[in-house]
Structure formats: C-alpha cells, structure tokens
Amino acid sequence: MDFTFTDDERAFQDAISRFLMTEAAPEALREIWETDAGRSPDLRNKMAEQGLTALSIPEEAGGLGMGDVVWSLMTQELGYYGIPDSLADTAYVSAGLIAALPEIVADRNGWLEQIAEGSIRIAVGHPINPLVADAHLADFSLLNHEGEIHAVPRSLIDVEHNASIDSSRRLCRVMWEPSSATRIVDAETGAPIWEEALNRGALSVAGQLLGLAQRMLDLSVDYVAQRKQFGKPIGSFQAVKHHLADVASKIEFAKPVLYRAGYSLQHGDADAALHISQAHIACAEAAHLAARHGIQVHGAMGYTWEVDLQMFMKRTWALESSWGDRAFHKARISAAIFADDAPLGPGQTFGRS
Amino acid sequence: MDLNYTPRQQAFRAEVRAWLKDNLPAEKLASYDTREGFEQHREWERKLFDARLSMVMWPEELGGRGCDLTEWLIFEEEYYGADAPMRVNQNGQLLLGPTLMEFGTEEQKKRFLPRMAASDDMWAQAWSEPNAGSDMAAISSKAISDGDHYVINGQKTWSTRAIYADWAFGLFRSDADSKRHHGLSFLMVPLDAEGVTIRPIKALNGKDAFAEIFFDNVRVPVENRIGEEGSGWHVAMATAGFERGLLLRSPARFQQPVRKLVELYKANREAADRDPSIRDAVMEVWAGAESYALSAYQSVGRLARGEKIGAESSINKIIWSELDLKIHETAMRILGARGELLSSAPQNQDDHGWLEGFLFAQAGPIYAGANEIQRNIIAERMLGLPKA
C-alpha cells in the first residue's frame, strides 16, 4: 500500500508546469483564442517536443508508456494553464481508445506513432457529449454510429460551429455518413471501448477541473493579499479568509479521489466507473466553489473581461458538465452504493475485503 | 503508487477481525459518560491491552505491536467495522501519549505510558479555561515554582469525563508575569491531589460528559512537567496537531455510520424518497467518508516518505466534524417524527443510537479548536494570507 507518486512522476509534472507557465501565459492564450481556429500549431508543436503527446503511447510505438495515474497529474496542469481541449482529447482520450482497438485495425499502430510524434489531431465524438470538440481541426474524428466506432477523415465531415461561453472551446456539430470504409470496429467490440473512453474522458475533465480550481484559488489569494480596503489587505478579513479556506479544503480532499480513480482505471478495477464518477463530482465541486468564491473575493474586478479569473471560471462552467454531467455521475454512484453488494463500510476503500 | 495491501497487512487484518469476533462484549456497554459505563469501558481497554491491541502503533516494550500507520488504519477499519466499544482513554492515548514520546524524559515514558496503554490511568484534558477557549494563549491558571514542586491555582473547564478520570494534563502559567504563549508549562496533575475539586457539567445528552476542575494550592512535583519550564506552548501545539490530525478520528469511524445510514435509507426508502434531497445527502456523506479515507491513506504515504503534514490537519478537522454532523442530520431526517424518541421510549425504533450521535455531532465543529479557528489557520498558514 503506497498512495504516493514517485519522485520521477512529480519531477515530470514540475517540468510540464514550468514549461506551460512560460509558453501558455494568459496573454498568449487570449491571442490564440481570438483566432478563428482557436488553436496554435506552434504551442502544439512545443508541447509535443516536451513529450506531452507521447505520454501514454506504448514505448514500442515511440511513446513514454505512462498511464492514467500520471495523467491525473498532467490533466491538472492542462487545467491550471487553461490548455484547450484538443491536447487531452488526442493525447489521452483518443490514445487510450486507439490502444484499446484490436490489432486487426490496420491503422492502429500508425495512429499511435503519429500521436506520439505530435503530428496528428484526433477528435472524439462520444454520445455523452452533444457536440464534438475540435472536430474542425482534427485530421480525423472517432465517431459513434449505433455503437460502432468510425474513424472519419476531416474531408468527409461537415461541421457546424457552436460558440461557447468558454473562448477556448471549439464545439462542432458534425454531419457525416457512416460507411463500411469509415467503420473500424463493430458495436459489440466497440461497446467496452466506448465505455472506457467515457471513463477516460471523465477523468481527464476531473483532473482539468481540479487544476482550474487551484488556478482560481491562486489568483484569488494573490488578489486579496494586494487589494486594500479600510486600510488593510482584504485577505486579512475573516470572511474573505474563510471563503478561500473552504476552496483549499475542497481541493485537498478531491485530490486523492482523482488519483485513486486514475489508479482504478489503469488497473482495470471492477469499481473504476464508480471511482471516476466520484472524482468527476469531487473535482467539479472544488472548481465550482473556486469560481464562486473567486469572483466574490475579486469583487467587481472579477466580473470584468480584463481580469484573468474569467478565463478559468468559464472553462470550469463549460467542463463541469462535460463527459457526463452531474446527474449522469450521480446516477452511476447511486446505482453502485444502493446495490445489494455495495462496497460499503470500513476496509472497502481499496477493493472489497 | 500501489493500492494493494501486502500479505502481511492482510494477515494483520484477519487476525484483528478474528480476535474481535471472539472477544467483543456480548452486550453493548453502557455510555462511557456514566460511572458504570466508564468502568465497563476501562475493563474492555484492559482486554484490548492484554491482546496487545490497545495501542498497536506503540513499541512492543510499551505493550504495543510497533505497527506502522497503514496497519493502524487497518486496525481502525476492523475495530469500527465490528461496532466495537468507543475508546474511553483516547485523550491520554492519542494526545498525551505521542506528546510524552516526543517531549517526555525516559523516566516519564516508563512511568506513564504502559499504565496509559492498559488504561490503569485514565486521562482528561485540562486546556480550556472560562476565559481561554478558542484563544488558548489567554490561559491564566498559574503553576508557581516552590522548591521541587509547582503550586497550582486556577480553573480549567470542558474537561471530558474528568469526574471519572485519574489524571489530567494541560497548560499552566509558570511565570506569573508572562503574557500570551510565553511562560506556560505543560503539567500532568493527579486528580486525587489535595486541593483539586471537580464539578461535573451536564452536557446536551443530560450526562456528566465533561467537568470543571478547580485548583486550590495544588502541589505537583516538578517531575510531572513535560518539556522545559516555559516551553509549554510549543509542546501543546504539537499535541493539538496530533488531535486535529488523523489519529483521533480515523476514517473508519465515519465509514461505519455511513454504511448504517445507507441501510437505514434502504429500509425506509419509500418514506425517505418523498424528499429526494435525502437520497442526495446519503450519497454526499458516502462520498465524504470515502474521500476522508483516501486522504488518510495519502497522508500516511506522504509521512512514510518523510514529508510533514502541517496546516492540512486543520482541513481534516473541518472535514470530519462537518461530515459527522451531516451523517447524523440525514439519519434524523430519515427517522422523521420518531427521531426525537429516547432509547427508553417504547416506540423508539432507533437501534443504532442516531439521536445520541446527532447530539454529540453538534460538538464536533466546536471542540479541538472551533472550525472558524481552523479556517483561519488554513488561510494564514497554507494560503499565506495576512493576520487580522
């Protein structure tokens, strides 16, 4: 029993954090988001050079062979720095989906290598999400037709753009015709793969939400330490302190829930779906509270376009219903804990004993 | 990261489980807030001690097993999972015990720890005073040096089960002219000493659950002091950290009532579902207890890697106290109009003791440092916000 990360894992997280701090500063993100495509090939290439796109690709396909546990650290960094959807969707969710495909799918290994190199963008159209993020830019999209998995090249897709309150989001309704040429696996083979993709997508969102929560907390702490009223920093007032202490508490107690969910998914735990829904809810609650209390302690400045808090609040509001809304995840928890064989009581936390 | 128990850990779990199955009292013990129940619990502690299960983390020469924190969590899971009796001497064993191990002399350790593990000595806290609650540095009880003794005068309050206990430990002002957290000393006082008067305070549950202690020229030998004279604040802060942290409130202590709450909900589902927010609350406390458990295992792993747990222990205290409140509030909502009935009432159907737990849960956000104070600590020490 050892519920900690290795020094290497932590060092990797630190390296990615330092890299994104310089390359993905809020000013730079604002510029990128104002472009039509909303994405920067330059930033994307640099992230590939850092190994981010190769993280979960098996070593034989040119990747680093890491799993969901390490991704639970990485997705927090993506959230903290407000990195747009396409990176996690390609390098994490799609990579997992493609790795789960049977070897018989001819392009499987080639795709994995391309993900590792950072030379490809892949969008995922899971039915749980009404729209497909970044389908306009993706080289191809993995789409669901009656449970089958289709790999549909950009040229065979029409997209209708749907603007989001989160300027970093590029959501598309995709119009396409399923055919035997686009189908890569049938519905029977596809079912568990879609299920795992959903879990991985939900975990990816959970990690990003936790990173967003930490970013909003940090921005708020900086602000209340500087802003003075009544001759003192407002951060010295107890009402303000308690708002932020509550956010810190939510974050601290969501972390281990996220990490355990990553571990369960990586190791095929029978309760992985339950653990992931727990993580989605815990991280969404932390981020939601960080946004609410964050804007409150920023006062009117928090309601402006100019102050960076808005970028992270809006991303929170967008992501908290992504890859399963609260109702979906609560229904999964409810089904598990009110079942006759529910894992309840002391000693059940890490598997039924 | 490896979230599997080792064979050794599994074997320990099995041993504890089997021992509890064979040795649990056949009948539920009386409340330890009564004289009768207190002595029943003392006997039970003796039985645990004889099986070297009272303080599993303590070294073997003190009657323990030298378990690590993971094994301690396992012990707690089995203990609370078996509905074993509440631990009556925790103030001594979990607060003073670790303090003695860190700051006590070899002689003090030998003298006090084995008797504490066996519950031959029962311990009460003597921190708070009428004018020193959340503001503990306002302590005014004095312990003035007189040769090889201190002479104590003053008053302590909110001392849990002090009318039944044998000893008390707390902070006293050993430098009469000192202010705030300077000039305090940490002393252990026998409660049968001349000049000690203990007056029970009836708690919310109608029982003498805590007490005031009056000191009138009470003479305590210098060897009952822990740490240097005047360094009591430093010693006490370490104790407060242990208290807020994991040891006093292990996750199992909340996972077990959550399991019972789910059972209560399922047994009363039709009535409970008239208010959908009840089901929501049951799910919320389940998730809360699980995340508390996960956090505990994470902290244990970090400690094993040599990291320190600092102001995060203030978060723990907020989490468990508010979780406990929510668990019991939800149970009371499910019990509905029957909830108010005492266990003596013929129509009472609350065989778990939800009402008693509900009353005690009211105290959680107040004792061991009110939650407002904990939030200040989080804001100032974790987030670095300026003091008021």
**Predicted confidence (pLDDT) at residue B237 exceeds the cutoff of 60:** yes
In the sheet that holds A171-175, the strands lie side by side as A132-133, A171-175, A158-162
The closest alpha carbon to B313, from B248, B252, B386, belongs to B248
Catalytic, B61? Answer no
CB-based contact, B4 to chain A, within 8 Å? yes
Nearest C-alpha of chain B: how many angstroms from A41? 35
Pair type for strands A122-125 and A140-145: parallel
| Cβ(B48)–Cβ(B54) below 8 Å | yes
> For residue A296, what are the CA distances in angstroms to A162, A224, A228, A231, A293?
29, 11, 15, 20, 5
β-sheet bridge partners, residue B273: none
**Predicted confidence (pLDDT) at residue B242 exceeds the cutoff of 60:** no
Which residue in the block uniquely carries the two structure tokens 């969910």? A261
pLDDT value of residue B26: 93
Nearest C-alpha of chain A: how many angstroms from B109? 31
What residues in B contact A259, CB-CB < 8 Å?
1, 294, 298
Are A238 and B74 inside 8 Å of each other by CB? no
d(CA A21, CA A137) in angstroms, rounded, equals 25
Q: Which of B280, B294, B387 sits opposite A349 (nearest CB)?
A: B294
What residues in B contact A244, CB-CB < 8 Å?
379, 383, 385
What count of CB pairs under 8 Å joins A to B? 175
pLDDT band for B246, please (50, 70, 90 cuts): confident
Q: Which of A6, A225, A346 sits opposite B386 (nearest CB)?
A: A225
Nearest C-alpha of chain A: how many angstroms from B17? 11
pLDDT value of residue B72: 95
The closest alpha carbon to A12, from A52, A48, A49, A45, belongs to A52
> For residue B16, what are the CA distances in angstroms to A353, B36, B40, B58?
13, 27, 21, 16
User: Letter for the amino acid at B105?
Assistant: T
In the sheet that holds A122-125, the strands lie side by side as A122-125, A140-145, A148-153, A183-185
Nearest C-alpha of chain B: how many angstroms from A254? 7
Mean pLDDT rounded to a whole number for chain B: 94
Q: Is the ipTM of this complex over 0.90?
A: yes
Are B81 and A347 inside 8 Å of each other by CB? yes
User: Which of A148-162, B85-99, B109-123, B297-311 shows the lowest mean pLDDT across its residues?
Assistant: B297-311
How many other β-carbons are positioned within 10 Å of the β-carbon of residue A347? 23
pLDDT band for B239, please (50, 70, 90 cuts): low
Given the residues B71, B76, B78, B243, select the one marked as catalytic. B243
Average pLDDT for residues A264-277, to the nearest whole number? 96
Average pLDDT for residues A181-195, to the nearest whole number? 97
**Predicted confidence (pLDDT) at residue A53 exceeds the cutoff of 60:** yes
| Cβ(B104)–Cβ(B98) below 8 Å | no
**Predicted confidence (pLDDT) at residue B187 exceeds the cutoff of 50:** yes
**Predicted confidence (pLDDT) at residue B339 exceeds the cutoff of 60:** yes
Are B380 and A252 inside 8 Å of each other by CB? no
CB-based contact, A350 to chain B, within 8 Å? yes
Q: Which of A2, A282, A330 sits opposite B291 (nearest CB)?
A: A282
What residues in A contact B5, CB-CB < 8 Å?
1, 350, 353
Average pLDDT for residues B298-314, to the nearest whole number? 87
The DSSP secondary structure of A198-216, one letter per residue, reads HHHHHHHHHHHHHHHHHHH
What residues in B contact A242, CB-CB < 8 Å?
372, 375-376, 379
**Number of residues assigned to chain B:** 388
d(CA A86, CA A170) in angstroms, rounded, equals 9
CB-based contact, A217 to chain B, within 8 Å? yes
The closest alpha carbon to B190, from B211, B165, B157, B171, belongs to B165
d(CA B132, CA B141) in angstroms, rounded, equals 10
Report the share of chain A in percent with pLDDT over 70. 99
Touching B: A residues 256-275, CB under 8 Å: 256-257, 259-260, 263, 267
**Predicted confidence (pLDDT) at residue B201 exceeds the cutoff of 80:** yes
Both ends of chain B: CA-CA distance in Å?
41
What residues in A contact B302, CB-CB < 8 Å?
4
Q: What angle do CA B111, B113, B118 make, to 5 degrees?
A: 110
> For residue A5, what are the CA distances in angstroms to A12, A70, B1?
11, 8, 6
d(CA A288, CA A339) in angstroms, rounded, equals 29
Are A244 and B383 inside 8 Å of each other by CB? yes
Touching A: B residues 32-71, CB under 8 Å: 70
| Cβ(B333)–Cβ(B281) below 8 Å | yes
Pair type for strands B123-126 and B167-173: parallel
**Predicted confidence (pLDDT) at residue B245 exceeds the cutoff of 70:** no
How many C-alpha atoms does B61 have within 13 Å on its Cβ side?
5
**Predicted confidence (pLDDT) at residue A352 exceeds the cutoff of 70:** no
pLDDT value of residue A26: 95
The closest alpha carbon to A111, from A139, A134, A131, A137, belongs to A139
What residues in B contact A230, CB-CB < 8 Å?
none
pLDDT in tens, A196-235: 999 999 999 999 999 999 999 999 999 999 999 999 999 9
CB-based contact, B279 to chain A, within 8 Å? yes
Which residue in the block uniquely carries the two structure tokens 């804001």? B379
pLDDT value of residue A343: 84
| Cβ(A96)–Cβ(A63) below 8 Å | no
d(CA A333, CA A327) in angstroms, rounded, equals 10
pLDDT band for A85, please (50, 70, 90 cuts): confident
Q: Which residues of A203-236 are buried (b: 16+ CB within 10 A; e: fewer)?
A: bbbbbbbbbbbbbbbebbbebbbebeeeeebbbb
pLDDT value of residue B368: 85
pLDDT band for B243, please (50, 70, 90 cuts): very low
Structure tokens at B121: 């000595």
Contacts (Cβ under 8 Å, ≥6 apart) of B27: none
Q: Which of A2, A257, A342 sits opposite B301 (nearest CB)?
A: A2
Give me the torsion for CA of B16, B20, B23, B25, rounded to 10°: 150
β-sheet bridge partners, residue B197: B214
Touching B: A residues 89-128, CB under 8 Å: none
Mean pLDDT rounded to a whole number for chain A: 96
d(CA A163, CA A170) in angstroms, rounded, equals 7
Report the share of chain B in percent with pLDDT over 90. 89
| Cβ(B93)–Cβ(B120) below 8 Å | no
Structure tokens at A251: 């974050």
Which residue in the block uniquely carries the two structure tokens 């128990």? B5
Are B385 and A350 inside 8 Å of each other by CB? no
Q: What angle do CA A100, A102, A106 make, to 5 degrees?
A: 115
What residues in A contact B18, CB-CB < 8 Å?
none
What residues in A contact B283, CB-CB < 8 Å?
330, 333-334, 337
Report the share of chain A in percent with pLDDT over 90. 94
pLDDT band for A82, please (50, 70, 90 cuts): very high
CB-based contact, A246 to chain B, within 8 Å? yes
Are B372 and A248 inside 8 Å of each other by CB? no
3-state helix, strand, coil in chain B (%, to 5): 50, 15, 35
Give me the torsion for CA of B181, B185, B191, B195, rounded to 10°: -90
**Predicted confidence (pLDDT) at residue B115 exceeds the cutoff of 50:** yes
Report the share of chain B in percent with pLDDT over 70. 98
Which residue in the block uniquely carries the two structure tokens 């598997």? A351
d(CA A227, CA B14) in angstroms, rounded, equals 57
CB-based contact, A218 to chain B, within 8 Å? no
d(CA A211, CA A216) in angstroms, rounded, equals 9
Q: Which of B3, B265, B312 sits opposite A3 (nearest CB)?
A: B3
Structure tokens at A258: 């996220």
pLDDT in tens, B2-34: 999 999 999 999 999 999 999 999 999 999 999
pLDDT value of residue B129: 97
